[in-house]
Amino acid sequence: MSIPQHHTSAALPGEVREATRAWVAELLEEPDVTLEDTFLELGGHSALALQLGRYALERFGNEYDLLVLFERSLGEAADELTERIARITAADAEAA
């Protein structure tokens, strides 16, 4: 899978949500993935979760919280990642 090198300090929520949906669809070979689906119910497991985290790290500079990814919907996992990136970005800005 080709992941654009797109390190960003402030990811847009829609961008993270769509990337999450697309990556899960490709990793699980399940084209009808929605943001309401859960990673585990779709057949995801720890090795695929680590791969998904690597994609997020490469693109957004941070990984998914695995507990959130395993226990909540894909949309909620994407939103949690977006919020965490925003908090880190704000803290970095304050420190500068």
**pLDDT reading at 9 higher than 70:** no
Q: Say if residues 35 and 74 touch (Cβ distance below 8 Å).
A: yes
Token duo for residue 84: 């965490």
Per DSSP, 63 falls in state: -
pTM of the model: 0.85
**pLDDT reading at 4 higher than 80:** no
Residue 17: closest CA among 60, 77, 71, 66 = 77
Q: Which residues contact 88 (CB under 8 A, 6 or more apart)?
A: 9, 62
Q: What is the pLDDT of residue 10?
A: 60
Q: What is the pLDDT of residue 73?
A: 98
Residue type at 92?
A: D
Q: pLDDT class for 91, splitting at 50, 70, 90?
A: confident
What are 69-78's pLDDT values in tens digits?
999 999 999 9
Residue type at 11?
A: A
